Structure 1
Amino acid sequence: MKLALAQIDMRLGDIEGTCARIADQAELAARAGANLLCTPVPLFGGMQPTTLVDYPNYENDLVGGLVDVAQRVEHLGVDCLVPAVVAIEQTPFVEAFLLREGRVLPLRTMFSLRTGRFDVGVWEPAVFDVAGSRVAAVFDLERDMPQLPRGCDVAIYFQMSGFNAYNEETCAVAGVADGHFTEVASQNGVWLACMAPVGAFDETVYTGGSFVMDDSGRVVACSPCFEEDLLIQEVSRGVIVPALDAHELPRFFREEWIWEALRLHVRDTVQASGRARAALALEGDLPSSLLAVLAVDALGPRNVVGVAFERSDVFTPQQEALERERMECVRQLAANLNIRLVERSQGDISRWMDRDVPARDAGRLRIGIDALYLADVAHEMDACMLSSLTKTDAALAPAAALSSGASLAVDAPFGDVYLTSLEFLARYRMRVSSVLPPSVITLEAVAERMGLILAHAIMSCCEDPVYTERMAQLLATLEPTQIDGALEAHVDRNRVLEELPLYKTSPEGAAILLMLTRRAEMARRALPMIPAVSPRSFGERIWPAMLGWSDLGRHGEEPRTVVDVAREGVKHVESLGEAHSERVRGEILGLLGNLLGLSPEQQEELMSEEGQQRMRENMERFESSLRSMLSSASDGQVPDADAQQAFGSHIRQYPFFSQN
C-alpha cells in the first residue's frame, strides 16, 4: 500500500476551499500511485470548535463538501481519510471520514451504530482495509495503540495537540531524536504514520513535520517542519526499507521552534483578517523591536508599518538625551528592517483634554493618545494592529496594555512568552541576521521594561499611597528572572504560594505577585488573540473575574483536601460503629453476668480482652457439652460426667437448662 500525507495549511472553516484543496492533493497523490490520502484534523473546525459543531447548517455544509470531494476523486482510485471534529449526541468528538467510491463513510459513528454503543465504542480505533493492508485511524497513542486488533499493518496517528515549547512530542518528527514515537511503533509491531498539521488555527499552532516510521521504529520518510508538503511512502510490512539517518532528522531547539511557530501564527492571523499589512508601535524596547522583526519574517518588509511616538514629558537635559537615544534606536531598527516608519508627536496633553492634566494622569492619557494615533495609521494603511504585550504583561498589567491599543489589535504574538524569555528569542534571531539594535538585548533593557510593568500593575491595583509604596519597595528588590519564574510556576504549572521558587527568599513579594495576577483577570478577558506555545496559556487558565480570594499561603499548616476530609469522616463513622458495638457487647455481657450471678469484679474481668478470649474458649467447650447433653436427654439418658462438670453449678442453679 502507498500512503500519502497531505501536510496543508488552510484557513479555519473555509469548507469550500479546503475541500477543493483536498481534491487537488488527491489528484497529486493518485499520480504518484498512492492508495490512501490523509489530511490533518483541524482543517475544518479547529480543535476548539465549541458550539459550532452543534450548528445544523455547519454540519450540513461539512457533509456536503465531503460528498463533493468523494465524487470528484472517485475516478482517481485513491481513498481519502479526512478527520474532523463533529458532534454526536451533543458531545464533540473527532470523526474519521473515509471517502471511497464516491461515498462518505463516517467510520467511528458507523461502528457505534452497528454496536449500539455511543460511549466506549466511539473511542475505539477505526480499522479498515486499503489495497490489501489493514489500516487503523489513531487519535491518542497511549489509549488507542494497545487496542489495535491483530493483523493491523499501519496505524495513522492524527496529531491533535498544538505546539508546546516544553513538549517535544508536539513537534512530530522533531521529537523522534528525543525518544518519542519509536517505542510505540516497535512495541506494537506496526508501521506508524504521523499526520501532523501545520499553521495556526485560532490560538493553537502546529509545526508540521509529518513522518512515516516502520515497525522497528525507524523513520523512513518525513515532511519538513513549518512548511506545506505532500509526503508519499510505500508501506511494506515485514520488509526492511531504507531509513533516514539520525543526522537527517530535524532536531528540536526551543527558541527556533517558538520563533517559527509565532511566525506562522502572525502570517495566518493577518491573512484571516482579510488584510495583508500589519501596523505596530515601536517604543525602542525589546518587545516592540522583536515584534517588528517577527512581523517582517512573517509578512515581508513591504507589509509592515512601524509607528513611533515622540514623548512630550521631557524636561531635563538627561531626559532629552535619553529620548534622542530612544528615537535613534527606533529609526535604526526601521532602517535595518527596511520597513516604513511613521513618526507622531503627542503635543500638549492639556490641550487635547481641554483641561489641566494632573501629573498622575498624564502618563495614562499619553498612552491612550498613542493608541489612537496607531489605530488611525492602521486604518489609513488598511493594516491590522499587532500588540507587543508579553505573558508578563498579561499576568500583571493587562489594563495598561489595553490602554496602549492592545484591545484594538488582532494578535499579540508574545502573549504566551514571558519577558525574560524574549531575550533568548532575540539572541536566536540575531544569529540569523543582526537587525536588532544591541541596546535592546541587555539585562538593563529587560529590567527597565519589567519596572514599567510593575509600576502599571501597582497603580491599577490600589490607590492607597502607603500600600502602593510598600508594594513597590518589595517588588523593586526582585530580579526579572525571579518575577517570571514565580509567574511561570504559578500560571503554567499551577503551583501554590509555598511551592513558588520565590517564596523562600521573598514570601511577601510572591504573595503580591499572585494577588496582582488574580486582580488582573477581568482585564485579561479583553486582550487580543494570543497563540498558545506554553504548557498553560491564559486562555486555558481562566479564573472567575470577580474573585475576591487570593493565595496567602497555609501559614505552616499541612494542605487539606476534600479527599482528606472524607477519609477523616469515614474514620469517624467507623470509630462510632466500634464504640456502638463495644457498648452493645458490654450490655449483653452485663446482662449475662447478672443472669449467671457474677460479681462486679467478675463482670469486669469478663469484659476484658483476656476474659473475652477465655469466654470464647469456654463457649466452644460449652457448645460441645450442650450438644452432648441434649443428645443424651433426647435418648432418655443421664448426661455424662464431663457434661455435668462443664455446666457445674450453673446447671444446678438454673434447672431449666436440664429441662430444655
Structure 2
Amino acid sequence: MKLALAQIDMRLGDIEGICGRIEDQARLAHERGARVLCVPAPLFMGTLPGGLVGAADFEHDMLAGLTGVAERIQELDMICIVPAAVSFEGQPLLDYMMLKDGHVVPARSSIALQRGGNGDARWAPPVFDVDGVRIAVIFDLDRELEMLPTGVDLIVYFQFNAFDMTDRETAAIAAVRSGAYRKIASKRSVWFACMAPVGAYDESVYTGGSFVLDDCGRVVAQAPCFEESLLVQEIQRGVMLDALEDHELPEFRSEEWLWQALVLAVRDNARARGTSRAVVALEGDLPSSLLAALAVDALGPRNVIGLVLGRNRIFTPAQEEAEAARCAAVRAIAERLHIRTVERDAPDAAPVLDRDVSAGDAERLRSRTLGLMLEDTALELGAMALSPLSKTEYALAAPALCGGYQGDYAPFGDVYLSTLEFVARVRNRTSAVVPQELVTLNAVEDCMERVLARALSTLDGPVDMLDRAAQLLGGLEPGEVDGTLESHVDRNRPFDDIPMAAGKPEACSLLLMLVRQGEAARRQLPTAPIVSARSFVERAWPYMLAWSDLGLSGKERMTVDALARAEVNRFADEDTSERMRGEMMGLLGDLLGISPEQMEELRSEDGQRRLHEGMKKFEGEVQDAIEKMMGGQGGPQGGPQGTPMPQPPVDPRQFPFFSQN
C-alpha cells in the first residue's frame, strides 16, 4: 500500500481553490500508485478557527466542495484524508473527512456516535484498513498514542502545532536527526508518517518537512522544508527498505529556520492581501535593513520599495555628519539588495505646531510623519507596508508607537531585538546584504537605547521618579532586557524566578510594569507571525489591569491548591478527633452505667461546664480525705511522746488524675 502526503500551501477560506488542489494532488498521487492521500491539518480553517467553527454556511460550503471532489475522484479508487475543525454536538472538534467511494465521511464523529458514552474510549483514534494495512490517524501525540488499539501497522500524524523557534519538534523532519519521533515507531514496531503543513495561516507559520519512518524508526522518505511537495512512500511491514543516513537529514538551527519561516510568512501575507509588493522604511539601522533583506527574499527585489525620509532638524556639524552616515548606509543597503527607493523630506514641525519643538517632540513627530509617508506610498503603489518593530518594542514601547501608522505587518513582532543580530549573521552567510557595522552588539545597543527612550517617554510622574527610572534602565545590557522579557512573557515565570530579579529588582519590576501598561496599545500595532513559545496574542492580559508582579518579598507563596489540600486535611483531622472522642465517651459510659442520652447531655456545652465544676469539687474532697488519713496515724510508729509522725507536705502532683482528666 502506498501513502501520499500532499505538502500544499493555500489561502484560508479559498474553498474552491483548496478543493481543486486536493483533486489535482489525488490524480498525481494515483499516477504514482498511491491508495491513500493526506493533506495538511490547518488547510481549511487554520489553527485558530474561533467562531468559524460555528459558522453553519462555511461548514456547508466546505462539505459541498469536498463532496464534489469525492465524486470526481471516485474512479481513482483512492481514500483522501482531509482534517478540519467542525462543530459536533455543540462543541468544536478536530475531525477528519474521509473522501471514499464518492462520499464524505466525518470519521471521528461517526465512530464516536457508534461507540456512544462519554468516556475517553469514545475518542480513541479510529483505525481503518486499506489493502491489509491497518492505519490509525492521530492529532495529539501526548494523548492519543496511549489510546491506540493493538495491531496498528501505520500511524499517520497530522501536525497541528505551528513553528516555534525554541521547539525543534515543530520543524518536523529537522527534529528527527536529534532523536525526535523515532521512539514512537521503534517502540511500537509500527510505521510512522508525519503530515507537516507548510506556509502561513494567519499568525501561525509551518515549515513543512513531512517524512515517513519504518517500523525500526529509520527515515525512508522525506519532503523538502519550506516548499510545496508531494511525497509518496510504499508501506511494507517486515521489509527492510533503503533508509536515509543521519547526515542526509536536515539539522535544526534555530536562526536559519526562523528566517525561512519569516520569509514564508511575508510571502503568504502579501498574497492574502492581494499584492506582491512591499514597502520598507529604510532608517539605516539593523531592524529596517534586515527587514528589507527579508522582503527581498520573500517577494524578489523588483517588488520591494525602500522609503527614505530625510531629517530637517540639523543644527550642528555632529548632527550633519550623523545624517550623512545614515544616508550613506541607506543607499548601500538599497544597492546591495537591488531595490529602488522613494525619497521624501519630512516637514518642519515648528511651523505646523506654531511653537518651539523640543528634541523629543521632534523625534516623535518625525515618527508620525514617517508612518504617514509609509502609508501613502503603500497605497500609491498597491503594496503591503512592512514594519521593523521587534518584540522588544511591542513589550516596552507600545504606548509611544500606537499613536501613528506603523505598517500592515511586522515580521519581527515576535522576535526580540537582541535575536536580530544572530538572524542577520545567518542571512549574511548567503550574501552580505546587511552592512557588517550593523551586525554588531553596538548596533543592537543603539537600537535598544532608542526603544528604552520611547518607553520612558510614556511615563508620567515627578521628575525625580522619572530620573530614577531612566537611571535604572540606562544601565541594562540588551541581553538583560530581552532575557527578562523572555522569562516574563514567553515562559510566564513569576517575578522571583526571573534572573534579573535577584540582582536588580527595581529595574526588573519597572520592565514588567512597562509591559503591563502597554497591553491596550499593543492591540493597535500591526499583526505579527507567531514564532516563539508564547506570543503577545497568546499571552494577552486584561488591558485595564492595575496589578504588576513585584514578587513575594520573602513571603511563602499561597496557592489555591495548597489551601484546598490544607482544608481537606483539617477536616480530616477534626473528624478523626471527633470520632476518637466519641469512642472514649462511649467506653466511659459503659463502665459507669451512663445512658446514651445522659452521655449526649454531658457532651453538650452546658454539661461540660457542670462536669468541670463537679470535678473541681470532687478533687478538693479527695485531697481533704487524704490529709486527714495521713495526719491521724500514731502508736508504735508515731513520734516521740506519742505525737504523730511528722509528714511531708502533700504534693498534688503525686495524685494527678483528677487535675489532668
**TM-score w.r.t. structure 1 length?**
0.88
The equivalent residue for 2:325 is 325
Tell me if structure 2 keeps the 8 A contact 1:278–1:305.
yes
Asked if the contact 1:145/1:188 (under 8 Å) is kept, the reply is: no
Map of 2:14 onto structure 1? 14
Match of 1:40 in 2: 40
Partner of 2:209: 209
SS of alignment partner, residue 502 of structure 2: coil
State whether structure 2 residue 372 is matched by structure 1 residue 384. no
Distance 2:461 2:558 in 1: 35
> What displacement does 1:114 show?
1.5
Provide the secondary structure at the position in 1 that maps to 2:269.
helix
Aligned to 2:516: 518
- How far apart in 1 are the matches of 2:233 and 2:582? 78
Shift of 1:286: 0.8
What residue is the counterpart of 1:426 in the other structure? 424
Q: Is the 8 A contact 1:112 1:122 kept in 2?
A: yes
Tell whether the 8 Å contact from 1:196 to 1:210 is kept in structure 2 after alignment: yes
Q: Which residue of 2 aligns with 1:497?
A: 495
Deviation at 1:195, TM superposition (A): 0.4
Once the two structures are superposed, what CA deviation does each residue of 1:462-503 show, in whole Å capped at 9, x if it has no partner? 243222111010111111101111111111111111111111
Matches within 5 A, 1:549-564: 549-564=547-562
Say if 2:56 is the partner of 1:56.
yes
Task: Tell me the equivalent position of 1:188.
Answer: 188
For residues 80 and 603 of structure 1, what CA distance do their matches in structure 2 show? Answer: 94
Q: Is the 8 A contact 1:107 1:126 kept in 2?
A: yes
State how 1:202-601 maps to structure 2 within 5 Å: 202-403=202-403, 405-406=405-406, 409-577=407-575, 580=578
Check whether the contact 1:173–1:209 (CA below 8 A) recurs between aligned residues: yes
SS of the aligned residue for 1:183 comes to helix
> For residues 34 and 348 of structure 1, what CA distance do their matches in structure 2 show?
67
Structure-2 separation of matches of 1:378 and 1:443: 32
Give the Å deviation of 1:444.
Answer: 1.3
Question: Which secondary structure does the structure 2 equivalent of 1:200 belong to?
Answer: strand
* Structure 1: segments with no counterpart, 5+ residues: 605-660
Instruction: Decide whether aligned partners of structure 1 residues 594 and 446 sit closer, same or farther in structure 2, where only a CA change above 3 A counts.
Output: same
1:532 aligned counterpart, secondary structure: coil
Q: Secondary structure at the match of 1:502?
A: helix
CA contact (8 A) 2:115 2:122 kept: no
**1:299 CA drift (Å):** 0.4
Cα distance change, pair 582–217 in 1 and its aligned pair in 2 (3 A) = closer
Partner deviation per Cα, 1:436-459 (whole Å, 9 max, x = no partner): 112211211111111111111111
SS of equivalent residue, structure 1 residue 85: strand
Q: 1:120 — aligned with what?
A: 120
The whole-number CA distance in structure 1 between the counterparts of 2:119 and 2:16 is: 32
| CA deviation after TM superposition for structure 1 residue 33, in Å | 0.9
Show the counterpart of 2:657.
Answer: none
Secondary structure of the equivalent of 1:461? Answer: coil
Change (3 A) 1:286 1:583: same
1:358 CA drift (Å): 4.8
- Whether contact under 8 Å (2:45, 2:84) holds in the other structure is yes
Work out the CA distance in 2 between the residues paired with 1:303 and 1:294.
Answer: 12
User: Alignment RMSD, CA only?
Assistant: 2.2
Q: CA deviation at 1:354?
A: 4.6
Displacement, 1:412? Answer: 0.8
1:374 corresponds to which letter in structure 2?
L
How far off its partner does 1:316 sit?
Answer: 1.4
Give the 3-state SS of the residue equivalent to 1:237 in structure 2: coil
Aligned residue in 1 for 2:143 = 143
Counterpart AA for 2:200: A
The 8 Å contact of residues 138 and 144 in structure 2, kept in 1 or not, is answered as: yes
Q: Is the 8 A contact 1:306 1:340 kept in 2?
A: yes
Matches within 5 A, 1:92-131: 92-117=92-117, 120=120, 123-131=123-131
Q: Contact 2:116/2:122 (CA < 8 Å) preserved in 1?
A: no
Indicate the SS of the match to 2:215.
coil
> CA separation in 1, counterparts of 2:584 and 2:124?
59
Say if 2:395 and 2:518, in contact at 8 Å, map to a contact too: yes
- Residue-by-residue CA offset, 1:403-432 (whole Å, 9 max, x unaligned): 4522xx221111111000000000011111
Tell me the secondary structure at the aligned position of residue 268 of structure 2. helix
After superposition, the C-alpha distances for 1:215-256 in whole angstroms (9 at most, x for unaligned) are 110010000000100001110011111111111111101110
- Aligned-partner Cα distance in 1 for 2:399–2:35: 55
Report the Cα offset of residue 601 of structure 1.
10
1:323 offset after TM fit, Å? 1.1
1:174-216: CA deviations, max 9, x gaps?
1001110000011111100100000000111000000011011
CA distance in 1, matches of 2:121, 2:586: 57
Q: Which of 557-566 and 328-337 deviates more?
A: 557-566
| Aligned residue number for residue 27 of structure 2 | 27
For 1:105 and 1:602, locate their aligned partners in 2 and report how far apart those are by CA, in whole Å: 89
Structure-1 separation of matches of 2:359 and 2:257? 44
Question: In structure 2, the residue corresponding to 1:164 is in which secondary structure?
Answer: coil
SS for the counterpart of 2:193 is: strand
Q: Indicate conservation of the 8 Å contact 1:96/1:108, yes or no.
A: yes
Contact 1:287 1:389 in 2 (8 A): yes
Q: Which stretch has the larger CA shift, 126-135 or 231-240?
A: 126-135
Q: Amino acid of the residue matched to residue 441 of structure 2?
A: L
CA distance in 2, matches of 1:591, 1:78: 84
Q: Higher mean Cα deviation, 481-490 or 111-120?
A: 111-120
**Matching residue's letter, 1:474:** L
User: In the alignment, is the contact (CA less than 8 A) between 1:45 and 1:84 conserved in 2?
Assistant: yes
Aligned to 1:412, the other structure's residue is in SS state coil
**Counterpart Cα distance in 2 of 1:492 and 1:319:** 39
Q: Distance in 1 between matches of 2:119 and 2:572?
A: 37
Q: Is the 8 A contact 1:40 1:83 kept in 2?
A: yes
- Following superposition, the deviation at residue 519 of structure 1 comes to 0.6
Distance in structure 2 (CA, Å) of the matches to 1:471 and 1:559 = 28
Deviations 1:84-130 (A, max 9, x none): 11111232221111111111111111102212346635532121121
Is the Cα–Cα contact under 8 Å of residues 197 and 206 in structure 1 kept in the other structure? yes
Q: Distance in 2 between matches of 1:365 and 1:337?
A: 29
- Assess if the C-alpha contact under 8 Å between 2:400 and 2:457 holds in 1: no
Contact 1:111 1:121 in 2 (8 A): no
**How is 1:60-79 mapped onto 2 (pairs within 5 angstroms)?**
60-79=60-79
